[in-house]
Structure 1
């Protein structure tokens, strides 16, 4: 599998599926403390589209999976948006691109749109946001009463700061069996396939302490509803689990309200890990976006920040 050395020297592990002359390219961007393996079932679904099958790119974000470690200063959503731009320029230099992001991956897409509005407008033909937010931790309550949620967030932020300075290693993988109940409670809903939890635990085990802690501040602070409001004309779907404790339905509702023409789907009983927990629903939404994007594209204009200011 190819590796991409980014402009700051970090190496990304990239996987490419499909032909270079496919009608479109889909880039799948994973979430915080996860890696490209969370998208495997969607990759398989896209391969079944026959002559409409797109080229599919998955990659491990810096500090995650098989990609290289990041310096603490590079553990930001803004840097992840830059990384996504580099991935697209190298592996999908032409043709329509469909972007799908889960959790932090969705926030990464928003950062790319914010940093490169004209490039985004000229290339991106479809969007899928899964279990993500454009408002940092504004709506995050962990499924707890407000006072307990405030205490938990304070503890999480403090702990993240300590982990961020612990270095690019992952000793917590030795503690995964003990962490399993907490991860299951935090990330999953009513019904759980044990394989989905196993994949999640393996991803968490490969994420460095620096990445677990380092990205937390940026994730909590992001505000990109204005960026989404400028993306008129891009086919888009927004999915969220009814029982998502990290990015609850209010997060998806605000994204859908800001993004003109977006379709919102709330999946009953589901939690945060929809790509593994409800893979068929995610795959159906993604393939529908791909089918729309691979039809004859009409010229469109995306409002940028200068237009809004005029």
Structure 2
């Protein structure tokens, strides 16, 4: 039944495109700009831009962590739909990762998954100092969640009641996905220049972007999507500094947060991934599910890497189910007799 509904959704979308009607022609993709905003200062002084929706005193807060070369507005469809579902019962918090969106420019040495975990902890300490938390991370955002759990395990044990890990992995991507796709002499030379000869960086920006942007763009979607949506996601990639893009490559390739999975063994987790994702291959999500016995696997047929934009209804459904399951008493949640 689910496969039939997915197929029908794709057919409806394709029909709209053939009739030259962009289904997102009137969509307000700047919706988050009107939300409550604040700045959280990371432990090393980098300012992190934050937006919030919902009452500050809500009993449950869902914190969204975006991915590589994106910004918090990559959660647009989740922010819009979930507010309608939850109303004033749940608060949502979004923020731009360091070097992305409206957050500050980091040093090269701080562009690590380890530091991103500490940034998430800083956001929680500042904006969500009390109450229950559900964490939702896409791609590098999922890695950030695992990193935070490893370094700040008490936060997970005492306050986190569930997590949604979307198109992500616990370990590096050197031989698969984006790591393998961006193995290129020009990219390697630019990495070296960023770290050793900053004055030369400006001369290589164009060449490196010409290599990286098409790879990220091609991997974004597994199906034909709205032209406006393509432009929206491409603007996020284009607005991300080439220096930031390159500085994060090494940590994406080599990070290993597998030890953090133990912190999620006893809470509900939903693992979501498109099976046409070749930035972080579907097998990585299968490995996460295998390591988390309490997890739900959501396989999005024909979904690319930006599955939360390409198939928002399925991602929203996974988040809603996870929050409902996480909010149940433990005996009911796990079926313990």
Tell me the TM-score range normalised by the shorter chain: 0.7 to 0.9
* 2:252 pairs with 1:219: yes
226-235 or 279-288: bigger deviation? 226-235
Instruction: Please report how far the alpha carbon of residue 121 of structure 1 lies from its aligned counterpart in structure 2 after TM superposition.
Output: 1.0
Q: Distance in 1 between matches of 2:41 and 2:154?
A: 24
Displacement of 1:205 in angstroms is 1.9
Q: Report the equivalent of 2:225.
A: 192
* Pairing 1:31–2:54 present: no
- C-alpha RMSD over aligned residues: 3.0
- Could you tell me which residue of structure 1 aligns to residue 8 of structure 2? none
Q: Which residue of 2 aligns with 1:284?
A: 317
- 2:284 is aligned, of 243, 247, 251, to 251
Does the 8 Å contact 1:128/1:237 carry over to 2? yes
Contact kept? 1:52, 1:291, Cα under 8 Å: no
- 3-state SS of 2:264 partner: coil
Which of 167, 186, 191 is equivalent to 1:131?
Answer: 167
Equivalent residue, structure 2, for 1:266:
299
Deviations 1:87-124 (A, max 9, x none): 00111111110000000000000000110112211111
Judged with a 3 Å threshold, the aligned counterparts in structure 2 of structure 1 residues 228 and 219 are, in CA distance, closer, same or farther, namely same
Aligned partners of 1:152 and 1:212: how far apart in 2? 11
Question: For residues 138 and 209 of structure 1, what CA distance do their matches in structure 2 show?
Answer: 19
State the shift of 1:215 in Å.
1.0
What do residues 182-210 of structure 1 show as CA deviations (whole Å, max 9, x unaligned)?
A: 44322221232222221211111221222
Query: Quick one: structure 1 residues 230 and 138, their matched pair in 2 at CA, closer, same or farther if it must change by over 3 Å?
Result: farther
Counterpart for residue 103 of structure 2: 67
For 1:161, the equivalent position in structure 2 comes to 191
Q: Return the index of the structure with the highest Cα Rg.
A: 2
Q: Unaligned stretches of 5+ in structure 2?
A: 1-36
Q: TM-score, normalised by structure 1?
A: 0.85
Could you tell me how far apart the structure 2 residues matched to 1:11 and 1:275 are? 26
